[in-house]
Amino acid sequence: MYTLGTVVSIHFFCATIPAKIAGQKVRRASCAMPARPAGLAKDCSGAASHRGATFLVPVSIKVWRKTTEKVLQVPCGMMGHHEGCPAKPKGMGARMPIYISHSSAQSLWRSTHARDYVRRPRVEDCLPENLPHSYRTLFSQGILSTPELRSLPRPIDILVAKDSERLYGQQIRNHVWMRKIPEWSFVAIGPYVRLSTPEFTYLQMASILSVPRLAAYACEITGGYSLNQGARSFHARPPLTDLSALGEYVSECAGVRGVRPARKALSYAVEGFRSPAETSLALLLTLPPRLGGYGLPPCHANYRIDLTESWERYLRTPYLLADLAWPAEKLVMEYDSDMIHGEPSVRDHDDDRKSALEAMGYTVITIRSQRLMDPTKLDNIVRQRIAPLLGVTPPHRTGLFAQRSDDLRSQLLG
């Protein structure tokens, strides 16, 4: 405890501060700095962060009535800005936004809130700015515990403009982005949270994911589904963007890390899929052999086929959507999962769909879960039925191609 007359040193950047505290004029004391008394709290004295002059000020009005002056450290910010004090940093004392990127942005776009985020206003920021000055500031302001970020896996990926702006803490992973960012690349999902747009998130993931997995992610955000946490299940939602918007955004970022694989993956992606299994099946069939695919021509996803009048009356719908289709060759491929298509009523409807398409001259091939997951069974049906109809000779599943095919399957199917 302090006794009357205890003298405490205080450090300032300022040389002089003409101010009055409790009616007493503050005067500059000697530059000789006596040692800080043991036990004096740093958050009261500020000795750890201020150097300069020593000032005589009263501790408080209550103490001032009972004691004489005491020498205390007083940060400039406590007395306002005066001539000779350094200017207060822009935004100091107020909450400042953080910019969510990479895997954390991907997680947020995969959440059930994505359909709400996509309607939020985009902000004009070209570079992250007005960032919190430290991880301690970020934590104390409660930004990491906001509803938008509370459920995110840790560490949270954030974007900073330069190395000196890195925030160090166990719950934060920094990504330095020194290049100019196109305008409207962030969505304001909270007062202090900026989320990278689907297009910007795609480009960020290009430096993390392989080309096949990046193509699958492009199919996901341009399709009607999102993977859930852990990527073992999915939920339906409207598309977040389209391939045209992704291509335009990538073109605006020429020279940025990840642009080349981002462009390459877009050349393999197809928009419109409604499940991850459809995406995986399409990429297994159409990716080039050097990436482990069979090199079949690109397909259409959920391709609309208008029915004849008689089949329209029978099926009570004017058209059907084919999971995968090659219209020129009149080839349709349907993926039937055991979970959805295992019920007898659903199976009967699938049979009616197949009959209608075959009556209109289409060849319909059904791929079920077991066949998709078995590399030998899938290889047989590709080689015996699909490839001949498309006029393609696929590579034999031996040697190097077998290794690449197995690697591709592990990337797409887990």
How do residues 41-89 score in pLDDT, each as one tens digit?
444 334 343 434 333 333 333 333 333 333 333 333 333 333 433 333 3
d(CA 157, CA 79): 37
Q: Per-residue pLDDT for 257 more than 50?
A: yes
pLDDT attached to residue 130: 63
Q: Per-residue pLDDT for 253 more than 90?
A: yes
Asked whether 50 and 75 are in contact (CB, 8 A), the reply is: yes
- Collapsing DSSP to helix, strand or coil, 274 comes out as coil
- Collapsing DSSP to helix, strand or coil, 381 comes out as helix
Mean predicted lDDT score pLDDT of the chain? 79
d(CA 92, CA 133): 8
Contacts of 130 (CB under 8 A, 6+ apart): 90, 91, 96, 97
pLDDT attached to residue 71: 34
Q: Would you state the structure tokens that stand for residue 371, as one six-digit string?
A: 């066949």
Alpha carbon dihedral 144, 148, 151, 154, in 10-degree steps, equals -40
Asked whether 263 and 202 are in contact (CB, 8 A), the reply is: no
pLDDT attached to residue 310: 93
pLDDT, tens digit, for every residue of 93-133?
A: 456 788 999 999 999 999 999 989 999 989 887 777 766 66
Q: Per-residue pLDDT for 246 more than 70?
A: yes
What stretches of 324-368 show up as alpha helix (H) in DSSP?
Answer: 338-341, 344-359
- Collapsing DSSP to helix, strand or coil, 319 comes out as strand
The 8-class DSSP code of residue 28 comes to B
| Entry pTM | 0.75
pLDDT, tens digit, for every residue of 194-244?
A: 999 999 999 999 999 999 999 999 999 999 999 998 778 899 999 999 999
Taking alpha carbons only, the member of 224, 217, 199 closest to residue 269 is 217
Contacts of 354 (CB under 8 A, 6+ apart): 334, 364, 366
Paired with 92 in beta bridges are none
DSSP run (H or E) holding 99: strand 98-100
